[in-house]
Chain A
């Protein structure tokens, strides 16, 4: 299964867009890209997933490059409540999610 690389931490000003990058250069053709987040001590929360096309839902947008080797999660108007650890996960390793270290996003007022 493909591994992912994310920056350990990022800061974002409240009200601005938060753009969280993820590299997954070894992704295979049928592996989806998933994003989850974990707000302090809570259960992980599903955000969005996609295969090739860009995806958007009420929470975020997911931009996947044409070669699928990287993606960006966009929170269009970050709020303080978006402060969390964001996990980019590629594929489902036999039905299980393999969480890495993720990116700590700090939204600041």
Chain B
């Protein structure tokens, strides 16, 4: 069973460019979550998506960040006009079902974004 896959593992962007991070959930999982870990800080929730729907984006910065999880293909976290403060590790997690009291989220290896 393949786990959660993320690519690229490392991404370098210049200030002002766009960054696209991809996440393929575990087989059979239809719920995806994105978390961000800034250098020397803890993991922070960003967004929760089901297929074609954003369920909770309370942790997403208001500008420049967007996420999608189309019917076909991976989930995409998109950062427009990146700034140095966007440099972080971005982790994706998936679960088979949300909206229950108990379920596990399985994490991918992360994408490390460096903005120069």
Contacts and interface: CB of A to CB of B under 8 A. Distances in A.
Contact of A95 (B35, B42, B91, B98): B98
Contacts of B105: 46, 97
Nearest to A48: B104
Interface stretch (A8-16, A19-27, A37-45): A37-45
Interface stretch (B12-20, B68-76, B79-87, B107-115): B107-115
A43 B107 contact: yes
A100 B42 contact: yes
Most chain A CB within a 10 A radius of its CB, from B33, B45, B58:
B45
A108 B40 CA distance: 23
Interface residues of A, number: 23
Interface residues of B, number: 28
Given A96-B56, A98-B45, A41 B107 contact: no
Most chain B CB within a 10 A radius of its CB, from A32, A44, A46, A51:
A44
Interface string A38-73: 100111111001010000000000000000000000
Contacts, number: 62
Interface string B16-37: 0000000000000001010100
A44 B34 CA distance: 12
A94 to B, nearest CB: 6
A34 B91 CA distance: 18
A92 interface: yes
Shortest Cβ-Cβ A-B pairs, 10 listed:
A43-B107, A96-B45, A99-B43, A46-B104, A44-B107, A95-B98, A32-B102, A99-B42, A43-B109, A43-B91
Interface of A: 30-32, 34, 38, 41-46, 49, 51, 92, 94-102
Interface of B: 4, 31, 33, 35, 42-45, 48, 55-56, 58-59, 89, 91, 93, 98-99, 101-110
Given A38-B43, A96-B58, A97-B33, 20 more contacts: A30-B101, A32-B101, A32-B102, A42-B110, A43-B4, A43-B93, A43-B107, A46-B104, A46-B106, A49-B102, A92-B102, A92-B103, A94-B56, A96-B33, A96-B48, A96-B59, A97-B93, A97-B105, A99-B43, A102-B42
